[in-house]
Structure 1
């Protein structure tokens, strides 16, 4: 009974993480309407989390500076969050999320390159399924090449690629101090998104940082708390469940994202998106299939977007 309750609690933690990320497009769009574009919002949210980590683990900064390999994780994690949050704010939520979850394609290729993992027939099958799903999602109504048509589509693809790179790097450098990895990943959201926002604002392409108002500060604070709770839920679940089950549960994010977008009237779920999304989802499930069960690990800091590959 105790084990069953622990398993249910672990799954609930992963579901919380999937829910927060799945519906995050909504508050990011509201913040945008208040004058805070998604890049500035991402920088502010992760800035609060970074400050909390430094207060709780002040030695994490020194460990991060002493491990240059973690700077790659900082960049990949920051790019992931900047691209995803920007994409779902500006584009079609369903398309962006589905293209983001092409992650198994990039993860398999990067794992082959950086970790020397074999490309098995099963890996080949899931690559074909994921790419076929992407082609269905992107196929233009009037014909033509199935390529991203909107900048937000490209952000979804880039976000999925850097998400996969982040996860592969986490495995490659798992021996580094966990508090340093955690700081790298949260600081990445602040530095990459904030740096990009400042550069675009200087070029006149994006809006500058608005004057803080009470509604804006409260909204950013509440969203930061939501993401912190989501990350704690991810940590709790991922430490107590096999990686294969964790990967499957976290795909519910696609359901939360598409369902919330349709229910709130932001998007319409087309037959094309359903077919393509089903193929991508099948590829994700195959990526989780037959992965060895991992024993429970001691608590450590996970990426805000970390999932097994």
Structure 2
């Protein structure tokens, strides 16, 4: 969703590095989120506060974006999808095995194919079905543990990782449907959805005893939250720059580096268990995602 696409030539290396920076931000975001939780700030409250700053910056740069967002009902669907993505991903990487969560999240191409069939009329071809089977085989390997009879989600973080990938796929499909909508309105809808839905989910969880109350303001966690918010903003700007200047297939491939950043950081800091089963299942999931990125675009057909 580029803010200012440019037709002028730019060195591809800079675009790739910009996308890798965005992947780095998301791949290591689990660590500051966990530090904030240690300070008493639940990841849902953290997400809500982090995106408040992003909303403020967007409105300062594009004052008319709010009116554009409120005036288009379809942007509320985008806000809901983006909000669910942030709720699920940020909560999952805080409470679960980081690599396992990221791998389940990267089932996104599977969900995207099904959603594009339903919402965009893009009927899957034979190769699409093979990629789906490859991804499903990978997730079955990741989810099947010695203590379980069936390869089903074993924890809250598993469910959140799967739901986050589905929501992210829906976000991408909605962005394609709304490609003629002004980009600042789309960006604001996504930031707004992340903040509003995180806050609402936190309030519901608070009433159920699943979420802790907001802690008293403290300089330490306020500075860390502000820093993470700026990192997300920088990552978003980098995404706009890179995605506007590279083919979508190249963008998808480069963004897979998030799995690498998450895996290396999680192994280094002891936040993941990389068994042979996870390696094998992860390889199948990543192969399916990479295959999806390399696949040629197909014309839109009726459902």
Distance 1:4 1:50 in 2: 30
Once the two structures are TM-superposed, the CA of residue 143 in structure 1 deviates from its matched residue by 4.2
Which of 31, 35, 39 lines up with 1:34 in the alignment?
A: 39
Match of 1:301 in 2: none
1:189 aligned to which of 194, 201, 212: 194
Select 2:174's aligned residue among 165, 169, 184: 169
Map 1:49-88 onto structure 2 (within 5 A): 49-88=54-93
Larger RCO (CA under 8 A, 6+ residues apart) = 2
Q: Distance in 2 between matches of 1:188 and 1:25?
A: 20
Offset, 1:142: 3.0
**Aligned-residue CA RMSD (Å):** 1.3
Aligned to 1:106: 111
Shift of 1:250: 0.3
TM superposition score normalised by structure 1: 0.92
User: Partners of 1:78 and 1:155 in 2: how far apart?
Assistant: 13
* TM-score of the two chains, using structure 2 as the length reference: 0.93
Structure 1 residue 38: Cα displacement = 0.4
* Distance (Å, rounded) in 2 between the aligned partners of 1:273 and 1:34: 31
- Inter-partner Cα distance in structure 1 for 2:117 and 2:271: 39
Question: In 1, are the aligned partners of 2:142 and 2:278 still within 8 Å (CA)?
Answer: yes
Q: 1:243, 1:291 within 8 Å by CA — same for their partners in 2?
A: no
- The answer to whether the 8 Å contact 2:10/2:245 transfers is no
Task: Tell me the distance in 2 between the aligned counterparts of 1:257 and 1:7.
Answer: 24
After TM superposition, which residue ranges in structure 1, 4 or more long, deviate above 6 angstroms? none
Match of residue 302 from structure 1: none
Whether the aligned pair in 2 keeps the contact of 1:43 and 1:191 (CA below 8 Å) is: yes
Matched, 1:287 2:292: yes
Q: Which among 6, 11, 29 is matched to residue 6 of structure 1?
A: 11
Instruction: Report how many residues are paired.
Output: 290
Aligned to 1:133: 138
Aligned mates of 1:289, 1:235 — CA distance in 2? 21
1:260-271 paired onto structure 2 within 5 Å: 260-271=265-276
What is the deviation of 1:5? 6.7
Which runs of 5 or more structure 1 residues have no equivalent in the other structure? 293-309
